[in-house]
Amino acid sequence: MPRLLRLRAAALTATAVLLSAVLGGCGDDGAKDEDLTQQQLSWKACPAPDEAQGGGTAPSPLPKGGEWQCATMKAPLDWNDPKGDTIDLELIRARTSGSESERIGSLIFNFGGPGSSGVAGLPSFGEDFETLRTRYDLVSFDPRGVGRSAPVLCENDQQLDAYFQQDATPDDAAERTDLVDNTKDFNDACEENAGKVLPHVRTTDAARDLDLMRQVLGDSKLHYFGFSYGTELGGVYAHLFPKRVGRAVFDAVVDPTRNPEQSSLGQAEGFQLALDNFAEDCVSKTEKCPIGDSAQDVKNRIAALLNNLDSKPIPGVFPRELTQSAATSGILQALYSQDLWETLTEGLKQAYDGDGSILMLLSDSMNGRSKNGEYDNSVAAYTAVSCADAKPRYDTAYVQRKLPEFRAASPLFGDSMAWGMIGCTDWAVAGAADHPDVSAPGSAPILVVGNTGDPATPYEGARKMADALGKGVGVELTYRGQGHGAYDSKNKCVQGAVNGYLLDGKVPPAGTVCT
C-alpha cells in the first residue's frame, strides 16, 4: 500500500498514568521529580543506525572536519503528567564550523513523515547544510515513536512484505474484505506491540519535546528548519509557543486547513500533476522518449501496465513479484524528486519487458525496506502519529462513494489514494481534530517556501499555511520547480533567501518568486 502524507495534527487527552515497568520503549530512571529542562546531555560518537532507523553504517566525518555526535534526552511520556514516567529521545548534532562569537545557537531539523528518523537523516543531507553550519550547531532527532525514540513497532518483516504486496485498490467485495482485514491486522499488531505509547505520539507531544530540547540545548529561542510534515510540527510549535520562535523556515509545506480526506484528494491531484510533468519532460527531450510517443501515450502505457499487474504480477526482486500495489508505490516514490525521473523511465522500460526489479526497489524505498529485507519503523510511526492526530474515520462505503471524485483528480492514483483513507478506521486511539491549529500571533516571521510542482504537499498549501500562521508571521516564497521541497533543488534564489534569513535575519519580501 502506498505510504503517503496524510499529515494532520491535533491534541489528544492522555487516558492514564502508565507504569514504566510494563511500557515497551520507556523507562523509569528514578528521576520523577527532576527538572528535565536542567538535564545535561552526554554527547558521544554516533553508532550505526539500528533497524528501526533504517540500518546502515555510522555517519561519516563531516565535510569540513569534525564528527557527528549523538545523545539521549529524557522527556515526559505524558506531557499532562510531566513528573511521571519518561521516554528517551535520540538526538544528533554537528557542531558549528564557525567561531563561537558568530554562533547563533542550534538549528533543529525535522525531515517529515511523520516517521522519518532525523538521527539517520541529517548526516545524509549534511553537505547541503554546510553553509548553515557556519553559524549554527546542526541538530536533529528521532521524534517520539520513531527510530530509537520509544519506537512504535507493529508487524514483523515477513508480515510487512505481505502487507505491501496486497491489492490496495479492491475491485470486488472479496478484495475489499481482504484489504479491511489486512489493515485491521496491522493496526491490531501496533496496539499489541506498542499500545502504551500510542496515545502519546501526537504532534502536540512532539512540539512540546521541541521546546524541552530548545531549553536543554541552551537556546532562548527555537531556530528551526522543517520539511513536509516538519512544517506542520513547526506550525503547531509556533501556535503553542509563539514568543519562543526564533528564525524558522518551512519547506514543502503542509496545508493546515485540510482534513485527511481533503489532504488525500490534494495529493491525488499533486501526484497526477507530477506524472503529467514527467511525461511531458520525457517526450520533450531531443532523443526519443523510450516509454511513449507522446505525453498521453506515456500515461496510457503506465495505466495499462498497472492494469495488467493487477492480475498478472511480474518478477520483481527475488523471490517477490511486482504487484500492482508495489508498482504504484514505486512510481509514486520516483515522482517525489525530479532526480529520480531517469530511474523511473528505466524502471518502466524494464517492466514493459517483464522485469520489475527497479520499480520494486523504488517501492521498497517508499516503504522503508532495506536490501537485507528489514523494515525501518517509519510506516508504523507514520500510522501512529497520523491516526492519533486526525479525528475522521472512513469506512469502505464512504470510500466507494468518493471514488469518482478521486478518479477525476487522478485517473492513475485516485483509487489508491482513496482506499488509503481506511488506514485509521480500526485504530486503537481516537483522533482529536480535523486539522491542526497553527495560528501564531506574536511569533517572529516564519519563511514559508512552496514549490509549484510539489506532488506530496501541493503548492497551494504554502499560501494556506502563511495565512493560518497570521499576518506578519507567515512570509511566503514561491519556487517554480519540480519535486518535493525547494531547498534541496540547489536553486540559488531559494537557498539565498533561506540562508539569508537563517544566517543574517534578512526576511525576503513576501511573495518573492524563484525560478
Three-state SS letters, 281-335:
HHHHCCCCCCCCCCHHHHHHHHHHHHHHHCCCCEECCCCCEECHHHHHHHHHHHH
Q: Which residues are bridge partners to 315 per DSSP?
A: 321
Instruction: Give the pLDDT confidence score for residue 481 in this predicted structure.
Output: 96
Q: How far, in Å, CA of 279 to CA of 345, rounded?
A: 9
> Lowest-confidence range among 63-67, 134-138, 470-474?
63-67
Q: How far, in Å, CA of 418 to CA of 45, rounded?
A: 44
Q: Which residues are bridge partners to 105 per DSSP?
A: 136
Instruction: Give the pLDDT confidence score for residue 23 in this predicted structure.
Output: 29
Catalytic (active site) residue 454: yes
Which tens digit of pLDDT belongs to each residue from 102-160? 999 999 999 999 999 999 999 998 889 999 999 999 999 999 999 999 999 999 999 99
Length of the chain: 515
Q: How far, in Å, CA of 443 to CA of 421, rounded?
A: 34
Catalytic (active site) residue 484: yes
pLDDT of 361 > 90? The answer is yes
Of the candidates 73, 86, 110, the one whose C-alpha atom is nearest the C-alpha of residue 32 is 86
Percent of the chain at pLDDT exceeding 70: 94
Query: Which one of 50, 376, 484, 489 is the catalytic residue?
Result: 484
Do residues 461 and 262 make contact, with C-beta atoms less than 8 angstroms apart? no
Residues 451, 454, 455: CA angle, nearest 5 degrees: 165
Per-residue pLDDT band for 34 (boundaries 50, 70, 90) equals confident
pLDDT of 16 > 70? The answer is no
453: number of Cβ within 10 Å: 21
Query: Which one of 78, 364, 454, 488 is the catalytic residue?
Result: 454
Mean pLDDT of 235-240: 98
Mean pLDDT of 367-378: 96
Of the candidates 19, 172, 169, the one whose C-alpha atom is nearest the C-alpha of residue 85 is 19
Query: Which one of 228, 263, 386, 416 is the catalytic residue?
Result: 228
Consecutive H or E run containing 246: strand 245-251
Catalytic (active site) residue 357: no
